[in-house]
Amino acid sequence: MARAGLDTDEVVRAGARLADVEGLEALTLARLAGDLGVRAPSLYAHVSGLDDLRRRIGVRGALELAGELQTAAAGRAGADALDAVARAYRDYARAHPGSYEALQRAPDPRDARAGAAATRVVDVVRAVLRGYGLDGDDATHATRAIRSALHGFVSLERGGGFGLPLALDESYAELVDVLDRGLAAASSGRPRRAGPAPRARPRRTTPRPKP
């Protein structure tokens, strides 16, 4: 039985709430239908299946995260903006773990709405990076580095990956400080350190044994 007034936005919101409470993998159409008081087939009037629902939750999550980051960065610059954005990123991941997980997948290039949502998140970070004088490819590399660092920390935190008796808030602040110093160094025009040249494999000087 279809419920009067049920629309796609409400279905996605309810799916996001369920994913945030029980985890994205626990989200099923049958469970969501029960929460909404409808039969599972009724949901197909709003989403094409579970993958589509998760995709929509990811788009919604990306837009929410972008809004949180933009609010945090407003009126700030440099290290202050980076710190505020990093704290907002962690806060969102902790408050909305299911939505956060859903938004991590790179959007399908054919999905304009998902691409636009992901771009909004990136645009906030790139605006922060302009405060460090970084743009173009340098900003792209820096954006990936920031995302990798923050995502790595919050994922380990969520998974109970930190066992030492040391305050995680302090460790996160240290991580952001390391990022700030690295970005400041990159913006100062300091040349990148070249990695060691690959070692040539020595030639065999003794004959191979016959099989």
Per-residue pLDDT of the chain (211 residues; tens, 9 = 90+): 455 579 999 999 999 999 999 999 999 999 999 999 999 999 999 999 999 999 999 999 999 999 999 999 999 999 999 999 999 999 999 999 999 999 998 888 888 999 999 999 999 999 999 999 999 999 999 999 999 999 999 999 999 999 888 899 999 999 999 999 999 999 876 554 444 444 444 444 444 444 4
140 φ/ψ angles, rounded to the nearest 5 degrees: -65, -45
Structure confidence at residue 107 (pLDDT): 81
Give Cα separations from 172 to 90, 175, 178, 179 (angstroms).
Answer: 9, 5, 10, 11
Structure confidence at residue 75 (pLDDT): 96
200 φ/ψ angles, rounded to the nearest 5 degrees: -70, 140
Query: Do residues 40 and 3 touch, judged by C-beta distance below 8 A?
Result: no
Give Cα separations from 59 to 17, 96, 111, 139 (angstroms).
Answer: 14, 13, 10, 23
